[in-house]
Amino acid sequence: MAPVLDLPLNVGQIDDVQELKKGRKTKIPIRFVRDVAERPMLAATPSPLLSSIPVIDLKKLMSGNKEEFHLEILKLSASCEEWGFFQVINHAIEVDLLEKIEKMAMEFFMLPVEEKQKYPMAPGTVQGYGQAFVFSEDQKLDWCNMFALGLVPHSIRNPKLWPTNPPMFSETVETYSKEIRKLCKTLLRFIALSLRLNANVFEEMFRESVQAIRMNYYPTCPRPDLVLGLSPHSDGSALTVLQQGKGNTVGLHILKDGTWVPVQPVKNALVINIGDTIEVLTNGRYKSSEHRAITHKEKDRLSIVTFYAPSYEVEIGPMQEMIDESNPCKYRRYNHGEYSRHYVTNKLEGKKTLEFAKIPPKKS
C-alpha cells in the first residue's frame, strides 16, 4: 500500500485557491503569506541563466550516429551532475496525447468545487484533490490546487478517487501514464550508460516500479510576491517527469549554486529531474535539485507531474561502483517504502527529507 500517516491531524482551514480567486479579494489570507525570507524575488528582467537548462535530444541517444550519441550522453551526464534537471525533446510521446491530458486536467480543475471535493485528499495522504504535505494548522499553504492519483502497482490505487467527470479522464490518464512509464525506463537506461553501468541496472533493481501522477493548478494571484505556488523541495522519486501547460508562464524555479533559476518551457519538451533515490544510488554524483513554483498576477498555470520510483520492497543504498577512496559512502542502506513513508509524512522543506539517508560525518 502507499505510505500514509495514520495519526489524526488538525490541519485547520485550507482555503481552495480557485474559490479565493473567484471572490476577487486583493488581500491574501495570512496562511498563504510567506515569511520575508521565503518570498520569491520576482525579477523584472529574465535571468541570463534562463536558457541554460540543458536540453537532451532523445532521438540522438536512440538512433543517432556514434558521434551524436557520444556528445548527447556526455551532455546527459553533465545535466544530471551539475543541474539534476534537463528538458527532453523528441521523446516520441505524441503531441496529441500531451494536449489531451492537459485538456482533461484543465476540465477537472474547472469543475465546481463541490464536484472536485467528491475526491478529497485526506490530511496526511497524497492522493485526491486538495493540498498535500500539510500537517498542522499553523503551516503555511501553497497557492495551488492539486489532484493526485497512485497508478502502479494497482495496490496503491484508491478507486474512489478516480473521477467519472470529465468523461474520458481516467482513460486518458491510463494511456498517458503508460507512455510516461516507457519514457522513464528509456531515460534510466541512458542514465545508467552515462555512469558506465549496465543499461538495465535500474530496471532490474527497481522491480515493479511505483508510479503516481499529480496535476497542479496555479490560479492567478493578486500578490505573487507574497506567496509560493509550491514550497521548495527535492523529489523522493528516482525520476520525475513534468509537463508544463501549453503557453504557460515561467513558474518552475531550480536552485542552482544558491540562486533560483527560472525554467523557460520548451515547446513539446518534458522537464526531467533527478530524485533523491538516484542521488543515493549514485552516492551523490547525480544530485536531486531543490525546486519550487511561483505564481503570476495575470496568467494561471498548469503542470502535470509523474513520479517514478522503485518498488516499496526494494533496499536502496549507494551502488558499489559509485564508492571509492576519494568518494566514500555518504548514505546508509534503507528500505524504499520506509523512505517513501518518511517523505510523504513531512512537509516540503528543501532537501531536509534526504537527511533520513545521510551518514553523519565522523567526529574528529
Percent of the chain past pLDDT 70, that is, above it, reads: 94
Task: For 27-78, write each residue's pLDDT tens digit.
Answer: 899 999 999 999 998 654 455 554 468 999 999 999 989 999 999 999 999 9
- How far apart (Å, rounded) are the C-alpha atoms in residues 201 and 220? 43
pLDDT for residue 320:
96
Give the pLDDT band (50/70/90) at residue 275: very high
In the DSSP assignment, the letter for residue 80 is I
Task: Give CA separation, 207 vs 25, 149, 201, 226, in Å.
Answer: 50, 20, 10, 43
Task: For 293-306, write each residue's pLDDT tens digit.
Answer: 999 999 999 999 99
Task: For 159-175, write each residue's pLDDT tens digit.
Answer: 999 999 999 999 999 99
Task: For 74-132, write each residue's pLDDT tens digit.
Answer: 999 999 999 999 999 999 999 999 999 999 999 999 999 999 999 999 888 899 999 98
User: Cβ(114)–Cβ(299) under 8 Å?
Assistant: no
